[in-house]
Structure 1
């Protein structure tokens, strides 16, 4: 069932698991310490970016608590787990930063800042290049808050993969990062908005969310939901370009 959901929908939410919950509880305590130490916040102080901020060990463990759960059966584990992103959203997300354009803010508000991970905006025109080919995206909830959930477009991974295959056709993987994929990325993204179902994905501590690396996803605005913050740890191990498609 998990394999089919990943193939057809591009994502799966795993049922609560005691070992995953133990890891989430340890990671939550570590995350609170990280937040207390400050760090970059964007969108009017409503999003803690937290890239490589979680102090997990190279085996994925936090404070000696191992990273375990049924998701391990459905991924190729990296030789070394990178420090996870600690993504924390606060009430009011997203507010507009002073240097953020009106168009970018509207896209964040009305399209959840939908994106495919690893495509980085470069230069003053923010042209998109594949600089970080990820193997998968694994999200682990660190607190129980329904606000600003992860949002995905069901089945969009297939359309995005087809678009990128066209963009890189006939080119050696070694040069894929130098290819400007902005137009085909935006064109395919519009097709996704027109044809794929937008789904809000909720998870509580003890659950894990696994996304296909090509899946279009984002974060919903906070809305009228109670809570002090919404915390998720994300692992996105890098793979070689040749394996990305």
Structure 2
């Protein structure tokens, strides 16, 4: 397994078509500020889908995605527009350079505190991205490092193993994570994964991933390239780190 899978089906397309106007309305009504110099709408929990994933009566395509139905949070609406990324006051020059040159590569679920130390705060079972509108392949596509989930899983498990399993959420895994991320950059193939409505990109929960900069000739409709993301949470960090 390389840590990602692309799926395509008319039922995925039907869900995306139903979700698009709902997403556009949510964006228009939102007061959330755009980040990265007004080029990125983070949109956590912004899509008002039902707990079963349906939108406007259109069922979430569980079966064709190969996923077992489970309660879903409101989807993130990640919206990127021309010029991404730009410097912003809430990012240091080093953080901006990492976003621009390394696609802001990260593993979801690791949350940094005020001292920039990371812990596993939001363990989740899987990540899926569903494009809602058609944009060009160079319009800030999703980026993954193939096979990175194996490196991350081994490194983080080694860092957690000396501690009681019921306290793994409290363990500072920053050093192990940064070292593993560096190894992924050095040994894993970086690939861009553009997608269109009707397709879905399923990621292993520990896959290192990010967003490429907006291409010089990239195009997308207003308000920008929109992808809905789901990351259903797990009850225990042990499940996040030990499951295949």
After TM superposition, the score normalised by the length of structure 2 is 0.93
In structure 2, the residue matched to 1:5 is none
Provide the secondary structure at the position in 1 that maps to 2:98: helix
CA contact (8 A) 1:71 1:208 kept: no
Matched, 1:216 2:208: yes
In structure 2, the residue matched to 1:128 is 118
1:72 Cα shift?
3.5
CA separation in 2, counterparts of 1:71 and 1:51?
25
In structure 2, the residue matched to 1:90 is 81
Q: How many residues align?
A: 234
Deviation string for 1:33-89 (max 9, x for gaps)?
01111323111111101000100001100011100155532x3432x1111101101
In structure 2, the residue matched to 1:52 is 45
Matched, 1:156 2:152: no
CA separation in 1, counterparts of 2:68 and 2:178?
29
CA separation in 2, counterparts of 1:94 and 1:130?
27
Matched, 1:63 2:56: yes
CA separation in 1, counterparts of 2:238 and 2:62?
28
Deviation string for 1:137-162 (max 9, x for gaps)?
01111011120000000000000000
Of residues 54, 69, 77 in structure 2, which corresponds to 1:77? Answer: 69
Change (3 A) 1:109 1:212: same
In structure 1, the residue matched to 2:99 is 108
CA separation in 2, counterparts of 1:165 and 1:12?
24
In structure 2, the residue matched to 1:4 is none
CA separation in 1, counterparts of 2:227 and 2:94?
27
For structure 2, the 5+ residue unaligned runs are: none
Deviation string for 1:111-165 (max 9, x for gaps)?
0000000001111x21111000010001111011120000000000000000111
Of residues 31, 34, 38 in structure 2, which corresponds to 1:41? Answer: 34
For structure 1, the 5+ residue unaligned runs are: 1-7
CA contact (8 A) 1:40 1:50 kept: no
